[in-house]
Structure 1
Amino acid sequence: MKKYFILLAGSPGTGKTYLMNKLRERFPDMYAITLDEIKEYYAESIGFNHLEERAAQEQTKVYPFYYKALDLYMEAGKKVVVSEYPFSDKQKDQLQSLAETYGYEVITIRLTADFEVLWERRCKRDREPERHLSYIMTHYHYGDVLEDRSLATNHITKEAFKKIISDRKYDDFELGTLYEFDVTDYGKVDYAPLLDKLEEQIKSEE
Structure 2
Amino acid sequence: MKQTILLIAGYPGTGKTYLANLIRKEIPELQILSPDKFKEKNWDLYGFKDLEEKERLNQKSWDEYFTSMEECFKQKNSIISDYPFSNKQKKIIGALADFYEYQIITIRLTADLDVLFSRQGNRDRDGTRNLGHIVKSYHKEDRQQKHAKADNLLTYDEFIHRCTTRGYNDFHLGKLYEIDVSDFAKVDYIEIINSIRKQMEK
> Which category describes the TM-score, using the shorter chain as reference length?
over 0.9
Q: Which stretch shows the higher mean deviation, 35-44 or 191-200?
A: 191-200
Alpha-carbon displacement from aligned partner over 1:34-57 (angstroms, at most 9, x marks no partner) = 110100000011110001110122
Structure 1: distance between partners of 2:102 and 2:143: 42
Paired residues of 1:26 and 1:199 also in contact (CA < 8 A) = no
Partner of 2:92: 94
Structure 2: distance between partners of 1:2 and 1:186: 30
Deviation, 1:147, is 4.4
Paired residues of 2:106 and 2:172 also in contact (CA < 8 A) = yes
Count the aligned residue pairs: 202
SS at match of 1:181: strand
Structure 2: distance between partners of 1:123 and 1:92: 27
Partner of 1:197: 195
Deviation, 1:201, is 4.3
Partner of 1:156: 154
**1:28 is aligned with what amino acid?**
P
Structure 1 segments unaligned to the other structure (5+ residues):
none
TM-score when scaled to structure 1?
Answer: 0.94
- Of residues 108, 118, 121, the one that matches 2:119 is 121
Q: How does 1:127-146 map to 2 (within 5 A)?
A: 127-146=125-144
Alpha-carbon displacement from aligned partner over 1:87-140 (angstroms, at most 9, x marks no partner) = 000000000001001110100000000010000001111111101110111111
TM-score when scaled to structure 2?
Answer: 0.96
Which of structure 1's runs of 4+ aligned residues deviate more than 6 A? none
Structure 2: distance between partners of 1:98 and 1:26: 26
Partner of 1:166: 164
Partner of 1:82: 80
**1:29 is aligned with what amino acid?**
E
Structure 2: distance between partners of 1:194 and 1:136: 31
Paired residues of 2:50 and 2:136 also in contact (CA < 8 A) = yes
**1:179 is aligned with what amino acid?**
Y
**1:152 is aligned with what amino acid?**
A
Structure 2 segments unaligned to the other structure (5+ residues):
none
- What is the percentage of aligned positions where both structures have the same residue? 40
